[in-house]
Structure 1
Amino acid sequence: MLVLAVTLLTFQGTLAQNIQARIIDRATKENIPYANIQVSALEHLVSNEEGYFNLSEGNSKDEIVITISYLGYFSQQLTINQLKKLDFVVALQPSIFELNDVKVSNVKPNPYEIMAQVKANLNTNHKNDVLPSKDFIFYRKSGLFKPAVIEVEINESTGFSKHALKKVNSDVQKFISKLISSPPKDFTDILGNYYNSTIKKDDKYVPVTKLEVLKATILENEGSSTSADELKKLAINTILQHLDSTKYYRAKSGLFGSRDTISLRKDFNKKKTKNKNTSTQILATKNNLNTFLTENNLLNTSSFNFIYNPEWYEYQYEGLSYMDGTEAAYVLTFKPKKSKAKYIGKLYISDSDYGVLRVTYDLDAGEKLNNVNLKLILGIKAADNKRKGTLMYRKKIHGKGYYLQYANIEKGQYFYVNRPLKFIELTSEEKDIFSLDIKIEGNTSSKMEYLNMSHTIITPSELQKVTEADFKFTKIKSYDPKIWKDYNAIEPLSEMKRFKTME
């Protein structure tokens, strides 16, 4: 009986579990990132940077059929049962064609003529749907605040003794040491339905979006002395110790003073925020998602100058890439030719309609964006020193053009602040003064991943019925694949799997 019970438990455990698998190159055995995985013709997934993907419990039954494809390789269709027999490793075969199977010409296509066609067809190929659409999406964001130097010293506080100030400065230094040794990091995962439409208002077309969150988790250093929230709380508590909450103040930094009146009185702050809309989690999340999609829309001229200003770049035609001999794409590499150009990368462009199928880009060595250096004058220096991305597009089933299927965007910024800060009481009598010196130098980085698993056109009435509801993140202490057992999602990288909250 004991053997039977153990057998049944083992069988049940293996029957209901989500699957993790890996995609590799058959010849080199190297992992293949960003390969397409079609699940039962319903959902489209993408392997992560390390070549892994996962399937929900509902899509892990033996008879489920998946199709794996990647430009430059033969597609492979197999059942989950066959995937298990392959030990969850799928090896794709690079596409090899005989010369008589491919159009051959002694004249290579001109990359600048190709880019001219891309630019001319952008609005047709990459504009948003006018009709209402529903996208089943997964959105992951991670952030890291990594200070190299933090120096905070309170040097004046009316009514406090030198001994008291010394004690406060000592406590601040202990906190800073922990912060530098263990910088705060967080991961948020969101899965849901994203609705998008365009309505005409005052002779202008205005976008309308709705978000329906099905599941959301957050993994962070909650409760530790090194979380970003704790850093904010420390700053507030430090000021509270030295400012009278019944009085009014004005801030001054160096030669510059603020005209805004500062008060810690609750009734004062309520008056200032009385007419402002209260932000909710659903609204903040939707706004972040809207911003992300706008920034990564190829029609955004400020983000993709390697498309809109091809004269700034040197393009090289690398050849044609095929998928099973049917879908072909021009492959172009680019690098800066003029000082205004910042990026290096690669474009995959459809040979039939010049739509962008895939683009990878990165800042060229030594290049920076939004560089501000006022270190000598104002004690401030900042620059975007990291900006790289991979964008993949899939053809729309209804109508012309493409939609964004997958995006992986990384950003990083260097910052330096070295300034005095002073709070001066607003009074005609003797003034309370609280002043401190702040020096912070370091880097922040963020990574955003977006996966559109299915894109469908809906009716206006269906969109109207959608109601947005606020939600709360489920806080987790470590990544657990069981959390997503009911849904397909982006397989996390090893970094996230190793990450655990600090007790």
Structure 2
Amino acid sequence: MSKTPFLLFCFSFLFTTSLIGQTISSQLIDAKTQKGIPYATVQYGEYQGVITNEEGRFSFVVDDTTTLLDSIYVSSMGYAKKGFALEQLQDSVLALQPKAIELSGVYLFDKELTVEEILEKMKERLPQNLNNEPVKQRFFLRKSELGNIQKVDFGFEKSSIKELNKALMDSLAASIPRNAHHYTETLGDLYLNDGKYKLDIIKAADLYDKKEIASMEDLGAKMEDIFTKNIKPDSYLKIKSGIFSQKVQVDSILADMEEEQAEAVQDELEKDSINGLLDGQRYVFRELLKELYYKEDTKLDVIDKTRRYDFKLVGYADIADKGVYVIDFWPDRSSADFKGRLYINIEDFAVMRMDFENVQRLRNFKLLGITYREVLYKGTMRFAQLPNKRYELQFMDLSFGQYFAVDRPLKVVEKNKNVKGRRKQNELLLNIDFRMGNTNKWELVVFSNSLIGAPEYEEFTEDKTVEATYMPTYNPEFWQGYTIMEPNQAIREFTVEEAK
């Protein structure tokens, strides 16, 4: 017997053994362009895998609970699927060859279906294809908030309160941060059961500049202090903005609440005293999951209102070793909002992937100097088949961009009915010009889907005490030993500048 194969086997075994308990890291690139391949699938277990970040980077943890496949398979739409040995992945760069979508002659059918027939079967099969059994999902969720204030001008014109002068208003405007970056990363388990869900947060990180929050809090505190010192306790404020006018009792804003009111508020708070992180993440999941293409309230009306769109079968491809129809869609009418691509399973007509982006503003509101626009809604959804042959969300990338502006006068007048003579006590007149853009980006990766029984769901109790770890500078050691989606360059380089 030749010794060479045996030695190679021993070397491979020892090398693989040494990787157990370690984090495997690599980057996936296009073999021709040498650029990273974003959001590619890396499958290392039968129902386990990770997604590359927007730069093609990925990592996962191998421990004694991991049941590895014979090879680690990496795949992405438009590229040839390829398998790698575990030892090939550590701190390496992996190249995939581009592969065109097949247009014909690859799949055999009993009957060729038109694109209309494919879509009709897809909608008919929705109840059978969507999972309705309790499931436990190990997830990683990253939210990136990118804010840009383009203009802040309070337009000071007049004030009878000495402290509320032009210099102060200009100072307050200058103190508002123009660019804000806030990243939240959460690892945990999501328990789903018939539209209800519970969260088990394992670990979370919060990256932002506390000085930005403090500056806004200081602004509010400073304004409140000035009004408290200069306005009589029994006065009220009359606020005029354009044709609108509103009376506001000063005591209800600035003074302490009456004892009875305070007790009522305290009782309400005690009824629902949940942790801020858990509450915030539950809200995020509620908002994200209602945007799935088959939900009633989703902005994505492509499936619900197919008559508003044109569809074209552009070819065939493979996703998770399953053949899929590749169907492009775009607006047929001016009322339709999206263009994109659907990937529908040839055998069971399940939607396995959906890419989309808006072609026009989703909302465009402008009235009396107030402007609000929803300018960006773009992303992808991918779904994985469970052992029960039904489908659950595997990955979601969603970017939502907004624009908000106010360009109108603001007049605040203090009046007091108990003062003899002229009731107008103090006055502040501004012409506000405020413009800002904001983009929120969510990246949700489901590493594994495990079917569970209804009792396991009901018996699970959420931990309301878990808190996120604040980071003024990104710490790569924080997630050591955990499988996550790798951070992009902006997050890796995030750091709060020290005050000069």
TM-score when normalising by structure 1 = 0.82
Which is worse superposed, 264-273 or 134-143?
264-273
Q: How many pairs does the alignment contain?
A: 463
The within-5 A match list for 1:476-491 is 476-491=471-486
What is the DSSP-based 3-state SS (H/G/I as helix, E as strand, rest coil) of the residue aligned with 2:416?
coil
Partner of 1:451: 445
Deviates most, 405-414 or 467-476: 467-476
Q: 1:233 to 1:248 in 2, by over 3 A?
A: farther
1:250-277 C-alpha deviation (Å, 9 max, x unpaired)? 4523232346644222335736734533
Show the counterpart of 2:315. Answer: 319
Q: Distance in 1 between matches of 2:478 and 2:445?
A: 18
CA distance, structure 2, for counterparts of residue 346 and residue 424 of structure 1: 56
Off by >6 Å, runs of 4+ in structure 1: 13-16, 95-100
- Tell me by how many angstroms 1:482 deviates: 1.7
Alignment of 1:9-408 (within 5 A): 18-26=23-31, 29-41=34-46, 43-56=48-61, 58=63, 66-71=72-77, 73-84=79-90, 87-91=92-96, 94=99, 102-103=107-108, 109-126=113-130, 128-129=131-132, 131-158=133-160, 160-161=161-162, 165-176=165-176, 179-180=177-178, 183-198=179-194, 207-223=195-211, 227-244=212-229, 246=233, 249-250=236-237, 252-254=239-241, 255-258=243-246, 261=249, 262-268=252-258, 270=262, 273-277=265-269, 278=273, 280-281=275-276, 282-300=278-296, 302-323=298-319, 326-364=321-359, 367-374=360-367, 378-398=368-388, 400-408=389-397
* Kept in 1: contact 2:80–2:96 (CA 8 A): no
Structure 1: where are the runs of 5+ without partners?
1-12, 199-206
| Residue 372 of structure 1, CA deviation | 0.5
Shift of 1:230: 2.3
Tell me, in whole angstroms, the C-alpha distance in 1 between the residues paired with 2:304 and 2:407.
38
Kindly, what percent of the aligned residue pairs are identical?
24
Say if 2:432 is the partner of 1:427: no
CA contact (8 A) 1:18 1:56 kept: yes
Distance 1:426 1:138, change over 3 A: farther
Q: Is the 8 A contact 2:381 2:393 kept in 1?
A: yes
User: What is the RMSD of the two structures over their aligned residues, measured on CA atoms?
Assistant: 3.3
C-alpha displacement of 1:111? 1.9
Shift of 1:15: 9.2
Q: CA deviation at 1:401?
A: 2.4
Match for 1:68: what amino acid? V
Question: Does the Cα contact within 8 Å between 2:291 and 2:297 map onto a contact in 1?
Answer: no
How far apart, CA to CA, are the structure 2 residues paired with 1:53 and 1:312?
38
Contact between 1:19 and 1:60, CA under 8 Å: does it hold in 2?
no
Counterpart contact for 1:347–1:358, Cα < 8 Å: yes
Paired with 2:402 and 2:324, the residues of 1 have a C-alpha distance of 34
| Alpha-carbon displacement from aligned partner over 1:142-161 (angstroms, at most 9, x marks no partner) | 11221111101454444x33
Question: Residues 363 and 387 of structure 1 are in contact (CA less than 8 Å); yes or no, is this contact kept in structure 2?
Answer: yes
Tell me which moved more, 314-323 or 183-192: 314-323
Return the alpha-carbon distance in structure 2 between the equivalents of residues 152 and 500 of structure 1. 31
Distance in 1 between residues matched to 2:20 and 2:308, nearest whole Å: 56
For residue 412 of structure 1, what is the aligned residue in structure 2? 401
Distance 1:243 1:116 in 2: 65
TM-score normalised by length of structure 2: 0.82
